[in-house]
Amino acid sequence: MFSEIKLTIRQTQILDFLFEFQLKERMAPTYREIADHFGFKSTKAAADHVSALEKKGYLRRHGGRSRGIDLITLTRQSDQKVIGVPILGDIPAGTPEQIIEKQNGTFAVDVKLIGNIGHHRLFALQVRGDSMVGRGIHAGDWVIADADAVPHENNLVVALIDGENTLKTLARKERRYYLKAENPDYNDWIPVTELIIQGIVKIAIRQIY
């Protein structure tokens, strides 16, 4: 490829500040804001540093314009990136593949919440019933589930039972897995062989009234 041009310690500090400012304030700083941050008594110092960073290819400047520093690699969206997660309809099909096809719009989820999921397929659904109140999940809540995650004990899973999506906790007794409803009123332990686990719940979203 190409070897990056080395930066001095100070130039690295300046560049770090530029990124930080852009992320926080959602705009580029002015030379005076840079100077103030570093305690420079002249704006020329800041301008010189930015000029050096431009020469070395770390940024572009839109000459004449205020706040014209353009950090090339940082898009505005990188601060606020969302993933469109398909919403599961009320009567979903069986397999995870079909789930995505039966979608009912999408739900936007901030990547801060899910991190690096790779190519995993996610889906969203709105909770009905109160089988999961024991884990703080109530009717009307939204859950985001990962269709490709490997289930582990104590995971909150989306399972398909009799054509309906239900939320259960994946439990284990000795060597056998079961599904458990987190509500004392329910006592349904269902062996995992009788059903399909469609996804592992990663995020729960509650609207508070």
Binding site for a second copy (CB under 8 A): 22-28, 30, 62, 65-68, 70, 74-77, 79-82, 84, 103-110, 112-113, 136, 142, 156, 201-208
* 45 or 161: CB nearest DNA: 45
Which among 76, 75, 70, 48 has a CA at the least distance from the CA of 57? Answer: 70
Pick the catalytic residue from 51, 168, 180, 202. 168
Question: 71: which 2 tokens?
Answer: 């950090």
Least Cβ distance, residue 60 to DNA (angstroms): 12
The binder of 9, among DNA, a second copy, none, by C-beta within 5 to 8 A per type, is DNA
CB-CB contact of 139 with 104 (8 Å): no
The binder of 74, among DNA, a second copy, none, by C-beta within 5 to 8 A per type, is a second copy
Q: Is 168 a known active-site residue?
A: yes
Q: 118 Cβ partners below 8 Å, 6+ apart?
A: none
CB-CB contact of 146 with 122 (8 Å): yes
* 17 or 178: CB nearest DNA: 17
Element (H, E) at 191: strand 190-191
* 34 or 167: CB nearest DNA: 34
Q: 186 Cβ partners below 8 Å, 6+ apart?
A: 131
Pairing relationship of beta strands 142-146 and 164-173 according to DSSP bridges: unpaired
CA gap 196, 180 in Å, rounded: 14
Least Cβ distance, residue 155 to DNA (angstroms): 29
User: What is the length of the chain?
Assistant: 209
Element (H, E) at 105: strand 103-110
* 17 or 186: CB nearest DNA: 17
> Which range binds DNA by CB under 7 A, 33-41, 74-82, 146-154, 177-185?
33-41
Which among 155, 102, 151, 154 has a CA at the least distance from the CA of 125? Answer: 102
Contact flag: residue 18 with DNA (CB under 7 A): no
Least Cβ distance, residue 168 to a second copy (angstroms): 13
Residues within window 100-119 making contact with DNA, judged by CB under 7 A: none
Binding site for DNA (CB under 7 A): 8-11, 30-33, 35, 38-45, 47-49, 52, 61, 63-69
Catalytic residue numbers?
131, 168
